[in-house]
Chain A
């Protein structure tokens, strides 16, 4: 009964979120907010891509590498061939996926800290390549101009852009959901829980890990390409440490390993972030985000999505014991 409740809860909140997303531009009617919503959607894709990697039992502290590669690749393809950014977009994602496959190959045997270090290193190596050897095509530290997703001369272009990106984001999340429900998703879960047992039952961990890496890199690349075509400009700053950390923070805050987690995390933290900005806080914003992250890791390790369950647990018979444990803890 309880399971059914939460299923229904998820379904209704999904409809509600989608409805809100559709009417949001009309409700706001100002360009600044629309811009914000667009960036939020892009980071929902990005955070979901990171989360997909976590679902496949891996992780990355250098996801900005794929975000940036997608952005650069899509821009260069669009510039050199004259294709529309909408077509260059998945191609940029494909380039990121190709690189992701290569990086995945070096990472399949690595765990935890080792994996974290190597992926972090890849983001730095990519940035170094972009500003040194690749400078003739990438423009070095100065960056290059990128074709806009839609020309600003089209009437109502901002709205069309918003809805296109909304559609792409919805598509990405549906794809992740479908993947999680398929045999591949089951294989991911098996590898994540117990690799030896997964291997014993005929699941090849290396193949699935690589698949996870490539799929995640593809989505991250698409997100990066979207951001760059939205801004109309790309610089190597896109490989920065912050860009690598945001999807991690969003996913953990919302709830790691769930489809809804990164979405909720991105939306909630974006609201917090922008709200704090309106109070004129700059450095304090980062302190607050950092504190939120620390508190979530310690007290709500499965993220916001587990909050209803946790509350129910606290209300249940174990309440007094939980309470006393808390006290002795802090």
Chain B
């Protein structure tokens, strides 16, 4: 029988990992909803978010959790530029082109980061590094709790933005029916750029949370979490933001449970085995509609 303490530990680890995945997956799905494209280079925004956070921290020394909004703003701008220069010209020219373009972006971003910051593994120290809070039989690092709260805050902000503001409504309208949105006078290309920027900002937020928890990062760290975010949105439904959130948390839990049960080296492979099994049964994802 597994001890309660270990079980709780796995749950919290899983929730923490889940926060990172769900931010990535939500961003991807927001972009997919509006533009109907998948950016395979999405993980590079996570990586850049990590480095930008570390750079700002080194420069100013303020609390890393306070940097998250600044990091998100920087990456939103970069995301907007990438959308305008790279994705807009190929919009509607076929899904293969998106994949190829993304591969190019992956190389550009990874190597630029390596050029600027070096390609060694780095890590930063959180101001709450040593503090843990006892919860039942285990003691939990304070950082994990803060990360859960920050993620909830970001999601609440996103929810309010999409539901209550005119721009948020325009984004949702574009995502539901692009032509209809055009007819009522919404500048859909601006919505593309905006949603791409917000999606990138969410990935950057995940990057900040990644570094403040003390995890190591290097220029090539983005691919694997991004790939997992793809798995999550494929399982949870393309374009569905609630699916991305639930999927992200479940994925984090499942991954850490597997790591505990059959060993850490299987962590990455198991997620793909699950994905492949699901896709064999349902080639368009668990909640994917039957297109074409």
Contacts and interface: CB of A to CB of B under 8 A. Distances in A.
Interface residues of B, number: 44
Contacts of A132: 263, 265-266
A294 interface: yes
Contact of B231 (A109, A117, A248): A117
B114 A249 contact: no
Contacts of B96: 59, 112
Given A290-B105, A293-B100, A124 B111 contact: no
Contacts of B263: 132
A284 B111 contact: yes
Given A113-B38, A122-B272, A128-B265, A301 B97 contact: yes
B288 to A, nearest CB: 9
Contacts of B6: none
Interface stretch (B85-93, B147-155, B157-165, B168-176): B85-93
Contacts of A129: 269
Contacts of A114: 234, 279, 283-285
A167 interface: no
A61 interface: yes
Nearest to A289: B107
A294 B105 contact: yes
Interface string A95-136: 000000000001001111110111011101100110110000
Given A132-B265, A290-B105, A125 B97 contact: no
B115 A284 contact: yes
Contacts of B230: 113, 117
Given A132-B265, A290-B106, A297-B101, A121 B275 contact: yes
A291 interface: yes
Contacts, number: 120
Given A109-B283, A128-B268, A294-B86, A249 B103 contact: yes
A283 interface: yes
A129 B269 CA distance: 9
A284 B116 CA distance: 11
Interface of A: 59, 61, 106, 109-114, 116-118, 120-122, 124-125, 128-129, 131-132, 241, 245, 248-249, 252, 283-287, 289-294, 297-298, 301, 329
Given A114-B285, A116-B40, 19 more contacts: A106-B276, A109-B283, A110-B283, A111-B283, A112-B96, A114-B279, A117-B227, A118-B275, A121-B271, A122-B272, A125-B269, A129-B269, A249-B103, A252-B100, A284-B115, A287-B111, A293-B107, A294-B104, A294-B105
19 contacts: A106-B276, A113-B95, A116-B99, A117-B230, A121-B271, A125-B272, A128-B269, A131-B265, A248-B103, A252-B100, A285-B111, A286-B108, A286-B114, A287-B107, A293-B103, A293-B107, A294-B105, A297-B101, A301-B93
